Structure 1
Amino acid sequence: AVCMVSAEFARSAGLAVGDRVPLSLYLANKAESPQWEFGFQVQWRGGRSPGLLNAAGEPYSVFFEQAYEIVGLYDTFRLAGSKNGTGEIARNMFIVPTASVTASDAENIGAFGAMNRYTTSFQIPNGTIDEYRTAYEQNVPESVRTHLQLTFDDNGYSKVVGGLENLRTAAIILFAAGLLSALAILVLLLYFFIVKQKKRTAIERSLGMSKNQCRVSLVSGVVVLSAVAVILGTVCSSVLFDKVQTLDLTGQNEHTFSTEYSLWARDENAVETEDAENTGALEVVIPAAMTVLTTGLSVILVNRSLKYELIEMLNK
């Protein structure tokens, strides 16, 4: 049981956020936009304002009463030359949640009319306009569709998401290229520092070093080298990523899709926290995985070299 009221009305009535106001609902006007205040249409719209008498000629009785807490104020703007087809909300109006009205207004409808952009709107998930159109054409008879015109407004989401898909494709290509480069460097590293070091291993063993000491001698150098490289790469990439995040690559600040007033806003903090946690985890998991992979492959290759007899290795 919460509501919003215009700041103008609140000032004139001495109301403020946090006050509780008892509201009594008498009738529903389902023909006009909420922009038209009661009685205002009589002068400007040819007397189309709903009357206070029902079909029986008796005054409408209250069909629902509830005390509402004011949780916000709003302002309206009456701009001359506003775009045709746009609608505002009334200056003196309480906005309450539909679900808070638990009684039916079936016997208290003061006016009704055809659906239009002022009285009928709905929300669908972003990016599903084409899917909705297909379902609409398949399920709504053509005789009905000829009398309906649907207008979709996603506030630029379609354009933004197209650019994001392109960025995603580019990011996948860059990730694949980076992964292949890392694997290629790893293969070369192991080839030159492990596989090609059989002579060194043979000399070390002939000098009395055990197989475990030979393993440590070869693997430790590779692991230290790869660990330093991975750490430096991770730090540099993180710094560069943060720098790129702050850049406006388009030269203007209108390339993002704001969810400030959408249903996503309620989950925005959770999403940002989750993304931050995922990014932080990747910065640890990927370097650790590369280091473990390097260590494991180094040990495997060293063990293969150590399987040869010492005399055979010296002869080679």
Structure 2
Amino acid sequence: GNVSYAVIVFSALSYFFPAFGDGNTWQAVLGASILLWIIHFLVLAGIRQAAIVNTFVTVAKIAPVVLFVGVVAVAFKLNVWSLDFTGLANASLGSIATQVKSTMLVTLWVFIGIEGASVFSARAERRKDIATATVLGFFTCLALYALVSLLSLGILSQPELAALKNPSMAGVLEAVIGPWGAVLINLALVVSVVGAFLSWTLLAAEIPHVAGKDGTMPKFFGNESERGVPSTSLLITNLLVQGFLVITLFAQSTYQALFYIASAAILVPYIFSGAFAAKLALTGESYESGERRSGP
């Protein structure tokens, strides 16, 4: 996941600096490596400090998306949106069932990380905030994803959208308001994905850290710095990310290929963790006396 974020950041920057290409050139990998270790040391400065930075970045990245939705909604053309709505006129897309199946990994990818509040539950002041954050996060993301996807189809046809370079939102906004729309979205994407990169770095380090503390993984993963940062887990995680960035350079992996791998890899732990969570809810294990199971 982190590797794909690094690739898409520099793919967006290629709008301004063509040498970055699709985010997998040596210049892009070098830049991604520098970004990776800047984030590493930011997290080492303290979890709370990193979380504060992430809060500001979250606000900064949602604002352009809301702007995009507003502008595209005004320019929305019903005749474009309804043109071959089912996609059946395009034989390469296949049947509706085939189209749905082909989007499953993408759909999974955009919601990976929704469990983040649960991962950091041990650091929460109030347990009920975990459920609230998860539900609000899910429905906010769902609404934004649906609006961006559906409204874009009212600006450009499906073949035109498919031909756009990542980030495709930039191409859509450029079609509505001109080149500065692409500039805005590309800059916003960089801010957004850097924020996501930070979030995922926290998430990826926290999971083995918790597992190390409860004995599921080697105990050294449970080591913490004096600031309460899972330093060993963070270092190992980022060394692995660095290794995959180098592989990306030689394999010429694209953003799409990387998120397909990440989505497929997350399925197994999702299935097992979901099943275990259901077991806890049914048996009442881990609940405190008098604590409700039905919600916050």
TM-score band by shorter chain is under 0.3
Q: Which has the larger radius of gyration?
A: 1
Q: Which has the higher contact order (CA 8 A, sep 6+)?
A: 2
Which of the pair is proportionally richer in strand? 1
**Which structure has the highest helix share of the two?**
2
Q: What TM-score comes out, normalization by structure 1 length?
A: 0.19
What TM-score do the two structures reach when normalised by structure 2?
0.20
